[in-house]
Structure 1
Amino acid sequence: MFLIDGYNLLHAAGVFAQGQAAGTLQAEREALLAMLAGRLTAKQRRVTTIVFDAAGAPPGLPDTATHESIKIRYARGYEDADALLEEIIEQHRAPKGMVVVSSDHRVQRAARSRGARWVDSEQWVRELPRVKKRNPSDRLENAPGIGDAAYWAEQFSDAETIAALEHAAAEEARRKGSVPRRPPEDPKQPLPPKKPKKEQQRFGEGIFEGFPPGYGEDLLDGPDIS
């Protein structure tokens, strides 16, 4: 598990937001989260928690949120983020499996007291892999089902990901042996005429049909060779 001191890492990473919201705490947080989402693997994101001070937190949002599987916690009801970080470290069932990311000595002492590993924010961000193009299959991992259209419409809109989803849906249909459903018929449209049912023909029936009338009668008038 990665437990990250949010604003401490933000200053260490030197991440800056762009656009009209640049310079606001919310924009800076979003820029940091985008950087983490691009440089952590899907497995790492699922075990990452980042803690921010409650000051400047988006109004009306819950104390806990997620971004690309990264868990976000705002320290509402706490003196500061350090107090919440200390509580998480203290209550964690397996602290030796934690990596606490903070340059704050108070947070580092809390980690050391429980046997958790800790690393300075500057060192941790330097050791992160460089930003690279995300694999669409990485987004699909551990995500809602292919049929959850509302989720996918909200999360993705790029052509590359849509193509990946369509491929995944086709593969799922192939594994299950299913075929795409036909669209419902329009009740206002007239039904096409039914083709007459072809009667089953018995073996040998009709094989001599098609000769012109009188064909072979002259054979009956031939000489008697008996």
Structure 2
Amino acid sequence: MAKDRTTPTRTAQIVSPALWLLIDGYNVLAPTAPPRNPGANWLHQERMLLINRLAEHLDSETRRRTCVVFDAANPPRDRPHRFTINDIDVVFAIEYPEADDLLEELIAAHPTPKTLAVVSSDARVQTAAKRKRCRSFDSQLWLDDLLDGNVRLAVDPAPTQPTTPNRIKPAPPSESDVADWMREFGFDEN
């Protein structure tokens, strides 16, 4: 990673214990080849297709804990390098030679890496994830699972509501109930 480290606060702003899912954006889009005569917006449309798929298949808590990183090539002109769409953090690696450099930095800086899932088919990114004991997933397999309704993360999202209702402790049994049960199980004093 031969990058001037003049912006450590940007990484700190992106990485938090709350981050569950880190996605190598163009790596997930890689199976999509550009059209023969691509229009001016084809790459933007592909990025938005990915973001919309994520928004459709991830629950609201997971969306808020997801970051998609794209190389700086062709970032949207009307947006800053980092913004949120459908609660998903989108970052363009504008101060890095490529997104892999930023992804490695984000993985290394994560305070609770065992809770982080990294989606990339890039060996370099997968190695960085394994070094920090993050879960890593191949991009195409992860996306196929996502589209089939199987969201693969490093953690199980906590249910938003309790799974069991609040229960009131039952009253202790009466003496006659205890006597009835004692007789039932053969502990009769007679």
When normalised by structure 2's length, the TM-score is 0.62
Which residue of 143, 148, 153 corresponds with 1:125?
143
Which residue of 59, 70, 80 corresponds with 1:41?
59
- Please tell me whether residue 97 in structure 1 is matched to residue 115 in structure 2: yes
Matches within 5 A, 1:1-226: 1-12=20-31, 14=32, 24-130=42-148
Q: In 1, Cα distance between the equivalents of 2:50 and 2:64?
A: 16
Higher Cα radius of gyration:
1
**Higher RCO (Cα < 8 Å, 6 or more apart):** 2
Please give the secondary structure, in 1, of the residue aligned with 2:30: helix
Q: In 1, Cα distance between the equivalents of 2:56 and 2:34?
A: 15
Q: In 1, Cα distance between the equivalents of 2:148 and 2:139?
A: 16
Paired AA for residue 104 in structure 1: D
Q: In 2, Cα distance between the equivalents of 1:16 and 1:79?
A: 22
Aligned residues: 129
Large movers: runs of 4+ above 4 Å = 14-17, 20-23
CA contact (8 A) 1:22 1:28 kept: no
CA contact (8 A) 2:75 2:81 kept: no
Q: In 2, Cα distance between the equivalents of 1:79 and 1:86?
A: 12
Please give the secondary structure, in 2, of the residue aligned with 1:124: helix
CA contact (8 A) 1:3 1:50 kept: yes
Please give the secondary structure, in 2, of the residue aligned with 1:128: helix
Gaps of 5+ in 2: 1-19, 150-159, 161-190
Q: Percent identity, please.
A: 42
State the 1:89 CA deviation. Answer: 0.3
Change (3 A) 1:32 1:16: farther
Change (3 A) 1:102 1:9: same
Q: In 2, Cα distance between the equivalents of 1:99 and 1:16?
A: 28
When normalised by structure 1's length, the TM-score is 0.52
CA contact (8 A) 2:75 2:92 kept: yes
Report Cα offsets for 1:162-220 as digits up to 9, x if no partner.
xxxxxxxxxxxxxxxxxxxxxxxxxxxxxxxxxxxxxxxxxxxxxxxxxxxxxxxxxxx
Report Cα offsets for 1:141-170 as digits up to 9, x if no partner.
9xxxxxxxxxxxxxxxxxxxxxxxxxxxxx
Please give the secondary structure, in 2, of the residue aligned with 1:58: coil
State the 1:130 CA deviation. Answer: 4.2
Q: In 2, Cα distance between the equivalents of 1:24 and 1:79?
A: 23
